[in-house]
Amino acid sequence: MKRYDITVIYAVDTRRLNRSIRDFGSRKALITRSETMLEEGLKKLEASVLPTDAVSRVSCKKTITVPADGSELYRVVAIDCGMKKNIVRSLNRLGCSVTIVPWNAAPEEIMAQHPDGIFVSNGPGDPSDVPETIETVRALTGKYPMFGICLGHQIISLAYGARTYKLKFGHRGGNHSVKDLETGRVEITSQNHSYAVE
């Protein structure tokens, strides 16, 4: 690790850390040298600003179309807010051609694709940090069926006038059970989000 200049932390009481997160929620953290004085570290934390441009950093930069596996049943436009590739592959397997557009695509660009539906993807950060995407969704409301995952769901909710809030610790990990209230079936899901819809 030293040879490749990789930062490492060790001798951390993970139970104590877990209790701290449970009691006080997620918050800023700083990895620093052991010689750093507490006051200096706290000043660095206080001065650091959390990014508000996470989606623009991870979204695609140009429009891309991925054809359906086999014959096309539907055309879906996916607004990329940091989408996982497996989502596109899953839609392709279901007969959907997917046109992926950047997070800040204008409503006219999306309508020009003549979609059967619009998908707003998952991605990082606070959903209120992407007002351009919220406005695009608002402009397309009622024109097409829309669906979203995680951040995408939150963006659709904001476009409809709902509010979002930061969860105390978020939902993390690959072992969250979710029960379908209509069928009673329980599935184990993977989740990673910090915000929820009020």
- Give the pLDDT score at 128: 95
Per-residue confidence (pLDDT) for residue 3, from 0 to 100 = 92
pLDDT of residue 62: 96
- Give the DSSP H/E element, type plus range, for residue 1: none
The two structure tokens encoding residue 14: 């993970």
SS3 assignment, position 170: strand
Exposed e or buried b per residue across 136-149, where buried means at least 16 C-beta atoms within 10 angstroms of its C-beta: bbbebeeeeebebb
Residue 41 confidence (pLDDT): 94
pLDDT computed for residue 11 by the predictor: 86
Q: In this structure, what token pair is assigned to residue 193?
A: 């989000």
End-to-end CA distance of the chain: 44
Model's pTM, two decimal places?
0.81
> pLDDT tens track of the chain, all 198 residues?
889 998 888 888 989 988 888 888 778 888 888 899 999 999 999 999 888 999 999 999 999 999 999 999 999 999 999 999 999 999 999 999 999 999 999 999 999 999 999 999 999 999 999 999 999 999 999 999 999 999 999 999 999 999 999 988 777 777 888 999 999 999 998 888 889 999
Q: Is residue 177 within 8 Å of 191, Cβ to Cβ? A: no
Which residues does 19 contact at the CB level (< 8 Å), separation at least 6? none
